[in-house]
Structure 1
Amino acid sequence: MSGIIKQLDKDTINKIAAGEIIISPINCIKELIENSIDAGATKIDLFIQNNGFKMIKIQDNGTGIEKSNFALLCKRFCTSKINTYDDLKSIATFGFRGEALSSICTISNLKMITKYKDDVIAYEVEYSSNGDVVNKKPLAANQGTTFVINDLFYNVPSRLKSLSYTKQELKKIVDCISKYAINNQGISFSLKRLEDNKMLYSCKENSTLDDRIRLLINSSISKFLINLEDVHDEDLGLIKCEGIITNLSYCNESTQFKKTSISTNKMMVFFINNRLIDCEVLRKHIIQTYNAFLPKTASSPFVYLSLFINPENVDVNVHPTKKEVYFINDEEICEIICGNIKSILQSQDVSRTFQDNTKLTQPFQPQSNLITDSFKYRSKTEEFVPDQGKLPTEYRNESKLVRVDASQSNLSFKPLRYTTLNTSSTGSILSEDSVQSDSSNECQNLESVKNLKLEIDNLAYPELIKFFSNCKYVGIIDAEKRICAMQCDLGLYMLDYASICSVMFYQLALRNIGAFGLYKISCSEAVTVKKLLSKINITEHADVHGIISTLEDMKDMFNDYFGIEFESTGDDLIVRTLPMIIQEYTPSKEKLPLLIYRLAKRVNYDDEQICLQEILRQIALWYKIRFQI
């Protein structure tokens, strides 16, 4: 084979493209069913021969196709659904790319019979492999459109060899038409096999949703069905979600009576904006929700969901066969839906019946010692009032669990240590013992300090305290976003360590106010307020003078309560000491200018309690950890 690049001929291009769109007979049938629904049909009849490989005939009573559209009907990228790419943002119909009929023509012999609603006669039109009209004649027919596909893949023998002629293709066709029947009440569907003139599927126009589900699964499922209604969240773009789910007893009974032969593809039926799709993220969330209630031997539940999402949030043009779509906020939407499913299952999870090999029934009591692996802050005044004296059963969400290496029996944590401030021999770090006790006693006895401590005690959350007492440090996940991993029991959690450290340093500073250890800055390196402010571009005389004046007025309080010593020198101040909140960790020297600026500008000195609280918060912000990896 030569290495020269050359353009493929048109016939080869069309066959390659058709092989991506039409993979098997089911793709032809799906595309044509969607076209019939778009045309407003209330009756769709499907006929197949040799599982669709020899012939596929689909007939509807929709609006039909106008005569002026015959020439472009089977041409690539010809469509009436969109005009520009931006129209995909609000697409509300099925076929929109103009590829389905063109691909079908390329790999089969296509014939169409159609009568438009305003015409008095119908037309029969035959197409060539490149989508050109080769024969057209008038005839008598009812309103609607009939497509006849003969000899599918006759010119692509390699595709024929890779496909099966057996029951597998037939099952896919029955599943497809059954699922569209479930989501399209008011439309009758039928499927007939021509070899033996056998009706494989029949659903009348007035059939109920339960009837249509029974046709897909089995007749015994009806007594286990539960409606799912009124699920929405406009902020996430979820306009509405409705559907049917099975209760917990169905999963057990279907196992005991060996009905697990039902294809797993049948058990999860998802439509997004009336489009049949495979949504793996939603399927996993639902399975995990049911697994919290069921034993491992239980079979899969049946779930039918029809989601209506803001079209601007849905990307329908991500898969050649359009069986997948992407939508914004998929995880959040799945959690909302599964939260509603969980509430329904919890409300009925009082007792369940399991059939053993001796055909005896025994009540199953759900475990009550399972707890959720998530926690959140709440005030001490919030209380849970149990319903009728019984606490609800909490189930562990398996999707929130992350397993770690089983060989690691104990995870150890050694904190990083920095010495960014100058602590040379000319300036030493003093211990907490060197602080005078008189100042400490005075601070601790202040009413404002007692109130701040009481506020922390009142907001304490016992479960959160227990979590931090038992958790193990794992490692840094994202240094930019300041997220680390912590393990507690079986849970692996992502935490914002900067926010946690800020709260921790605030509480440590409050507990030790007036009794801080000190960082003594070297005498050889005079750290003045003006020099620090120049590093953050505060050079205006009025601003600098105002900051120095404020700190000058409060320097005695800073020294006595917080261990921050300012030494006056002309029209400037020299920083001599800084507070030590925790040993073996030194805050960043680069953040010191911001601390000095905020102490002057971000603190309200008119109210004692607010003043002390804000100064402590500024010191905690200065100490906030920034890991460097």
Structure 2
Amino acid sequence: MAGTIRKLDETVVNRIAAGEVIQRPANALKEMIENCLDAKSTSIQVTVKSGGMKLLQIQDNGTGIRKDDMDIVCERFTTSKLREFNDLTSISTYGFRGEALASISHVAHVTIVTRTEDSKCAYKGNFSDGKLKAAIKPCAGNRGTQITVEDLFYNVATRRKALKSASEEHNKISEVVSRYAIHNAGVAFTLKKSGESTADVRTSQNASTVDNIRSVFGPTVARELLEINHENSGLGFKLSGQVSNANYSVKRLIFLLFINHRLVDSSSLRKAIEAVYSTYLPKNAHPFIYFSLEIAPHNVDVNVHPTKHEVHFLHEEAIIEDIQKCLEQKLLGCNSSRTYFTQALLPGSNLSIADDEDKSKGQKSSSTDQVYAQHMVRTDSKDQKLDAFLQVTPSGTKDRSSSSSSSSSRYQRDVGVAGGSGIGGGDGGQRPGVVEIFAPAEGMDTDDGQTLPRKRPRSEVSSDTEGPSSRPGPSGEDQEPVSRQPKPKRKEIQLTSVLELQKEIEEDTHEDLRDLLKQHTFVGTVDAEYALIQHKTKLYLVNTLKLSQELFYQLTLYDFGNFGLMKLSNPAPIFELAMIALDSAESGWSESDGPKDQLAQYIVDFLKSKADMLNDYFSIVIDEEGNLCSIPLILDKYIPAMEGLPMFILRLATEVDWDSERDCFQTFAKECSLFYRIQKNSKLTDTRGENDAASGADMPSYNWKWTIEFVIFPALKSTLLPPKRFAGDASILQVANLPDLYKVFERC
């Protein structure tokens, strides 16, 4: 017998419809957040209890609801955003059907407290099944609307049982709030559990999209984001957002998609994005994607799904293909280099290198003990170096330096050097005999069979006395002799300011790094800025620029008043040096500083007034005509990059604090270290052409690679007291450890 068709009761119809729109607490919250945003709210606060099933409260500071509209606010198909069906083609608000609050009121107890801007007080109403339970009552309240939803699905037992645990539902709610917070950067969002003071999600009103991503997903993804902006007028869409680069990956795809500011999902776009990233990320690794897609409203059908979770739009395949190409170009542009975050050496570690040595000495050893390959340490630097694996470019194959440095090239390396590492200095003191050293003068056989240039004096220093060295580091056998002649007697420095600066260096010394540098084996130069050294079974990448700068700073203070002399072959007019420095962009000169010639003359007069002190303490000789005749010999066998001499002279007059004794010596030592250190743009090998070499040019060639290996690093080994900041600023980085490498190869 055929069943009778009956019209369902209105209550049953409303509950069925409500079940389609409100599937779980997160859906109810999504609808209410969109209503808050439609009301132009700038602050949205969400309070949850038991995953939203017992309590789900949202409060905003928007325009509020008029008192006259409170009677029908929870009835189905009542809205202030749509008047006729054709309005759907130009809809720009989140809501348009008028079903959200009605659906919620049919499956929960709803309380609304609202106040408009022109209202003297707020009004409160309780709703059930889309209708008011009692008359609207005036009450106290702030501008905006507060909606409280209690006992969700109290009358739909099967739906309530089908929901997951309270923690699972809370995570779903947190996900909704987080995504809307990221997209709406100008709105402050807060999510917290009822009765708790700490918030699970909190963003500020003035935070940017990246700031909100950092707040929600953490700094790891925030620092790896790429901003993407793309517009295609032909297809009628505009794309903006943030995507992770090839350095970041997670186990599951994080995909935030907003189409016309509505949180939706698109499986086809998701697959297209995964296909692009599969080229750049390892297997089973996924990116972070936030897309905000704006499409002409008449090309979008938002009335596809009851929860509005899905939308359809015209030219979907073409738009997705265009987005895919745009994403590929963005990733291709950032794939030219990768960023690897490394841990600085010994960041507060209690285990020191010395402890390792004591433990190894404490262990009993016998001739029968087997030493495995991964624990063998290279002790002979002649075994093999990095250069053996590299193809050496013949000298003279590269072009000479650009014309930008031609103005100062007349002072480059054109110097004579005083022998010995110390001088008598002071009144009545005698300097050692002046000699001329040109680097390199003759070849020197190295460990790998190559011939590298070296510096050799053309005459010897004449002195019969030798005094104790005040430089830091080991003495005696640990130091490589720099001259066969005895050193002249040193002048004892008793200035309190200098002694205090020396004491600060010693107190700030990192002992573990000191032992590492003292016992290291030089591996090879990477470039002028970086070099590789080995200590036991570990390989380290060291910053030659930072280490050499600290080296010359310490040598300037420890050899204070006892410098050797590097005499310029031709005295250099300080006026010309100052003009060259002022012409460079590095000086920062502007018209407001005055004419360059007046500034240059001021520098000449100022340094001439300090000539006696510069000569006595720092071996800088300035004659009466304002010519620079010599600069200090801070490190034996080392000549600084003379193209930096003009800027050095300029900074002596402008950056050194000449008013305070202690500050004067400290700032002078810093300026010397900047000038004498290895420069980043230094060419490791001679860049002169063959024609220049054959013509016997006055400016000698110079091999920085030889200098770094045979002058700088031996000085670091014997002299430098590394400061504690080197353990945390990536000046010395461990890049490999032999036992760990063996473990990797064992897995292979």
Shorter-chain TM-score range = 0.5 to 0.7
Whether the 8 Å contact between 1:60 and 1:144 is mirrored in structure 2 is: yes
Matches within 5 A, 1:453-492: none
What per-residue deviation string (whole Å, max 9, x for no partner) do you get for residues 162-221 of structure 1? 001232211111111111111111110001101444421111111221121123322211
Q: Which of 286, 293, 305 lines up with 2:280 in the alignment?
A: 293
Q: Spell out, residue by residue over 1:76-112, the C-alpha distance to the aligned partner (whole angstroms, 9 max, x if none).
A: 1111111111111110001110111000000000000
Contact kept? 1:316, 1:326, Cα under 8 Å: yes
Contact 1:175–1:216 under 8 Å retained in 2: no
SS of the aligned residue for 1:199 comes to coil
2:272–2:324 Cα contact (<8 Å) kept: yes
Correspondence list, 1:384-399, <5 A: none
**In 1: Cα distance, 2:12 partner to 2:198 partner:** 38
Counterpart in the other structure of 1:427: none
Q: What secondary structure does 2:309 align onto?
A: coil
Alignment identity in percent? 41
Matched residue SS, 2:83: coil
The equivalent residue for 2:405 is: none
Matches within 5 A, 1:320-339: 320-339=306-325
Distance of 1:209 and 1:100 partners within structure 2: 28
Question: For 1:273 and 1:105, how far apart are their aligned partners in 2?
Answer: 28
User: Partner of 2:58 in structure 1?
Assistant: 58
* 8 Å contact from structure 2 (residues 51, 168) kept in 1: no
Query: Which amino acid in 2 is paired with 1:341?
Result: L
User: 1 CA distance for matches of 2:239 and 2:131?
Assistant: 40
Aligned to 1:268: 255
CA separation of 1:355/1:65 partners in 2, compared to 1, >3 Å: closer, same or farther? Answer: closer
AA paired with 2:64?
G
Gaps of at least 5 residues in structure 2 are 343-748
What are the equivalent positions in structure 2 for 1:75-474 lying under 5 Å apart? 75-132=75-132, 134-229=134-229, 231-238=230-237, 240-251=238-249, 254=250, 260=251, 264=253, 267-297=254-284, 299-352=285-338
Aligned residues: CA RMSD = 1.9
Listed one character per residue, the Cα deviations across residues 488-533 of structure 1 (whole Å, up to 9, x for unaligned) are xxxxxxxxxxxxxxxxxxxxxxxxxxxxxxxxxxxxxxxxxxxxxx
**Partner secondary structure for residue 248 of structure 2:** helix
Q: C-alpha separation between the residues in 2 aligned to 1:106 and 1:48?
A: 20
Q: Say if 1:128 and 1:134, in contact at 8 Å, map to a contact too.
A: no
Q: Secondary structure at the match of 1:135?
A: coil
Instruction: Determine the C-alpha separation between the residues in 2 that align with 1:234 and 1:160.
Output: 47
Q: Distance in 1 between matches of 2:103 and 2:170?
A: 21
Residue of structure 2 equivalent to 1:626: none
Aligned equivalents of 2:203 and 2:288: distance in 1?
A: 20
What is the match of residue 520 of structure 1? none
SS in 2 for 1:295: coil
CA distance in structure 2 between the aligned counterparts of 1:270 and 1:303, rounded to whole angstroms: 8
Aligned to 1:533: none
Equivalents in 1 of 2:105, 2:166: separation in Å?
24
Matched residue type, 1:294: L
Could you tell me how far apart the structure 1 residues matched to 2:196 and 2:118 are? 37
- Distance in 1 between residues matched to 2:282 and 2:198, nearest whole Å: 40
Contact 2:174 2:200 in 1 (8 A): yes
Counterpart of 1:411? none
Question: Retained in 2: the 8 A contact 1:287–1:300?
Answer: yes
The alignment partner of 1:249 has SS state of: coil
| TM-aligned CA distance change 1:353 to 1:202, over 3 Å | closer
**What are the Cα deviations for residues 576-604 of structure 1, in whole angstroms up to 9, with x where unaligned?**
xxxxxxxxxxxxxxxxxxxxxxxxxxxxx
Alpha-carbon distance between aligned partners in 2 of 1:129 and 1:195, rounded to the nearest angstrom: 29
Query: Aligned partners of 1:142, 1:197: CA distance in 2, in Å?
Result: 21
Q: State the partner residue of 2:31.
A: 31
Contact 1:59 1:144 in 2 (8 A): yes
SS at match of 2:47: strand
Q: State the distance in 1 between where 2:164 and 2:244 align.
A: 33
* Cα distance between partner residues in 1 of 2:197 and 2:29: 19
Q: Which amino acid aligns with 1:291?
A: S
Task: Tell me how far 1:134 sits from its aligned partner.
Answer: 2.5
| Greater length-normalized contact order (CA 8 Å, ≥ 6 residues apart) | 2
State the AA in 2 paired with 1:292: T
- Secondary structure of the corresponding residue to residue 146 of structure 2: strand
Given residue 347 of structure 1, which amino acid in structure 2 is its aligned partner?
Answer: G
Q: What is the TM-score of this pair, normalised by structure 2? A: 0.45
Q: Is the 8 A contact 2:50 2:167 kept in 1?
A: no
Deviation track 1:556-581 (CA, whole Å, cap 9, x = no partner) reads xxxxxxxxxxxxxxxxxxxxxxxxxx
> 1:539: which partner in 2?
none
User: SS where residue 318 of structure 1 aligns?
Assistant: coil
Structure 1 residues 420-446: Cα deviation after superposition (integer angstroms, max 9, x where no partner)? xxxxxxxxxxxxxxxxxxxxxxxxxxx
SS of 1:334 mapped into structure 2: helix
Matched position secondary structure for 2:231: strand
Q: Deviations over 1:297-342 (max 9, x none)?
A: 4x21001011110000000000110011100011111111121110
1:384-404 Cα shifts (integer Å, max 9, x gaps):
xxxxxxxxxxxxxxxxxxxxx
| TM-score, scaled to structure 1 | 0.53
Listed as ranges, the gaps of 5+ residues in structure 1 are: 255-259, 357-629
- Corresponding letter in the other structure for 1:312: H
Contact 1:127 1:135 in 2 (8 A): no
Q: Distance between the aligned counterparts of 1:49 and 1:198, measured in 2?
A: 14
1:225 aligned partner, one-letter code? L
Q: Secondary structure at the match of 1:276?
A: strand
Mapped partners of 2:166, 2:136: distance in 1 = 35
CA contact (8 A) 2:60 2:146 kept: yes
Mapped contact 1:70–1:133 kept (Cα < 8 A): no
Q: Deviations over 1:101-141 (max 9, x none)?
A: 00000000000000011111110111122333523210111
C-alpha change, 1:133 and 1:70, in structure 2 (3 Å) is: farther
SS in 2 for 1:28: helix
Q: Letter of the aligned partner of 1:235 in structure 2?
A: G
Q: Within 2, Cα distance between the matches of 1:83 and 1:177? A: 29
Q: SS at the partner of 1:305?
A: strand
The answer to whether the Cα contact below 8 Å between 1:178 and 1:215 also exists between their aligned partners in 2 is no
What is the identity, as a one-letter code, of the residue corresponding to 2:309? K
Deviations 1:462-507 (A, max 9, x none): xxxxxxxxxxxxxxxxxxxxxxxxxxxxxxxxxxxxxxxxxxxxxx
The match for 1:581 is none
